[in-house]
Amino acid sequence: MASNAAVDIPSKSIAVLPFENLSDDKSNAYFAEGIQDEILTRLSKIAALKVISRSSTQKYKSAPDNLREVGRQLGVANLLEGSVQKIANAVHVNVQLIRAATDEHLWAESYNRKLDDVFGVEGEVASTIADQLNAKLSGTEQKAVTDKPTQNTAAYDAYLRGLAIEHTQYSYESYQQAAREYVEAVQLDPNFAFAWARLAVLRSFLYFNAVDPNTNTAGAVKEAADRAMALAPEAGESWIAQGAYRYRVLRDFAGAVTAYKQAQIRLPNNSYLLQNLAFVQRRLGLWQEAEATFKKALELDPRNFQLLGSLGGECYAYLRRFNDARVAMDRALEISPDSASTRANKAVTFQNEGRLDEAAQELARIPADTMDDFVVAPRINQAIYERHFDTAISIIERKLSSVPAGQPLDSVTELALVQLGFCQQWTGRDEDARRSFSRAIESIKPKPDALVSPDANGTPNTLALAYAGLGEKEKALEQAQRAVKDYEMDAVNKPWSETTLAQIQARFGDFDSAIAAIPHLLEVPAGLTIANLKLDPFWDPLRKDPRFQKLLQSPVGDEKAAAR
């Protein structure tokens, strides 16, 4: 009997493997990547095909020896291999379509084109593959697959450079560089809708994370998204740009879901789109839908370790399904054993269950000099939960000293600065603590009338904690209550702001309000666990209260949430 794996692989499924760069000039690698990417993008617009995302194929060689194994790992029946050679103004593209299970070559073709005529190749290849796999295209799909995005060779070149940077480098600096390439593309061809769309998505991400806020403004994101939509209202890429603007800038989560679903109709094989849809569904509290969307994204992107890490750390962990979270993270670590963020997130799942020894073991496997926010934050929490306040202080001070002089602090580092203040207080260094809290407030709210907007990392909560650290009760409570309102419609961040408010109430002696808030926070997704209550010093003011002690005995929160 055939194995399930063989039965499950649809015949109309394909992965486009990395194209080999045969140019003598190795700096032309971006061009080979771009041609591969454009063929994949066009194929992915065909609903009758299952097309694997680039993030799952990019680790493979251009022409691997073990095609059957590659097909099995990616869950596809067919593989496309190719090579690109660019010499001066001439381009030579070779492609071959192979049946993975038998190594049978189904079709091969060579294309010799002038550089300014290369745009047509991607559409021709995608159309021929659809024919070879007997995939029927609608009229709309045929147009989407064969349309030329621009007639301007230099603009297209800049666009391909931007794509190559986005796909191979993961840092704020590289995303800024990719955005500059897209800016060049739209300056060369103001009617280049796809370049406007990518620019909108990248700028929305940089805006969301407060990177170079003078360039990545709300207005700049809106302009790029609106230009894409005006130029190409039927393109899925334009709808992704609208979704990114609504999600990250307007925080209109329902509007973002609408836009992403419009994109999904036009881009049935786009895992990036599905991942973002899942992120927004969580914020609306649609946790079951979000899980289903994550899983659908994984079918199209089975070897994307970041996607697996997100399913574990940003979906299952919030549902307190910690075992499921670690299964997803372990799959991610099989694919990318050096992923510090995945290992750090795995440590967080152990912290939330009070399994500090296992959390420490995971954190110890990350190189000590790693200063990334997503690693530093769990290290700080580990030290605080272990009551090793001096260790926490030294971790935070190392992080602060790694920030280049004159560079503004990001929101995660601002929270670390507030935690530094509390650790200094808990070890009797009140003057140092005052300086830390004041520095955090100065960073978050440089002018008294400065607006503190709700962001992904809970900055309004951080400000409330800083006021509390300084003993400014009214300001702290007012800011904490404002943060709860800020995140009213955000199912991921709202429990965090409600937790912050309860901790501030406890600190200033309003035990009744603090204790009344806890049962709800033990039940809602993205809320508290019993281990958080037991280990976090912020709850120390409540420790002697019999009502709090009774809550610590209750398994209700974890069990109810896990059952949802």
Ramachandran bin of 3, using left for φ above 0, alpha for ψ from -120 to 50, beta for the remaining angles: beta
- List the one residue out of 163, 233, 152 whose CA is nearest residue 193: 233
Tell me what pLDDT residue 564 has.
Answer: 39
CA pair distance 363, 372, nearest whole angstrom: 13
pLDDT confidence band for 398 (50 / 70 / 90) = very high
Predicted pLDDT of residue 438: 97
Structure tokens at 317: 């962990």
DSSP track, 286-346: -HHHHHHHHHHHHHH-TT-HHHHHHHIIIIITTTT-HHHHHHHHHHHHHH-TT-HHHHHHH
Judged by average pLDDT, the poorest of 9-23, 118-132, 472-486 is: 118-132
Positive or negative CA dihedral for 27, 149, 46, 287?
A: positive
> Looking at the predicted structure, is the pLDDT value of residue 168 above 80?
no
- Model confidence at 557, pLDDT cuts 50, 70, 90, reads very low
Name the one residue in this structure whose structure tokens are 């995971």: 362
Domains and CATH numbers, the chain: 1-148 (3.40.50.10610), 149-267 (1.25.40.10)
Task: Reply yes or no on whether the pLDDT at 36 is more than 70.
Answer: yes
Q: Count of residues for the chain?
A: 564
Asked whether the CA dihedral 246, 249, 253, 254 is positive or negative, the reply is negative
pLDDT one-digit tens code per residue, 273-296: 999 999 999 999 999 999 999 999
Q: 40: helix, coil or strand?
A: helix
Residue type, 488: E
**503, pLDDT greater than 90:** yes
- Alpha carbon 341 to its chain centroid, in Å, reads 11
Cα 104 to Cα 101: distance, rounded to the nearest angstrom = 8
Mean pLDDT lowest among 18-32, 210-224, 238-252, 351-365: 18-32
Confidence grade of residue 556 (pLDDT, cut at 50, 70, 90): low
pTM for the full predicted model: 0.88
pLDDT, the chain, mean: 92
Confidence check: pLDDT of 118 > 80 = no
pLDDT of residue 171: 78
Instruction: Dihedral sign for Cα 103, 109, 113, 115, please.
Output: negative
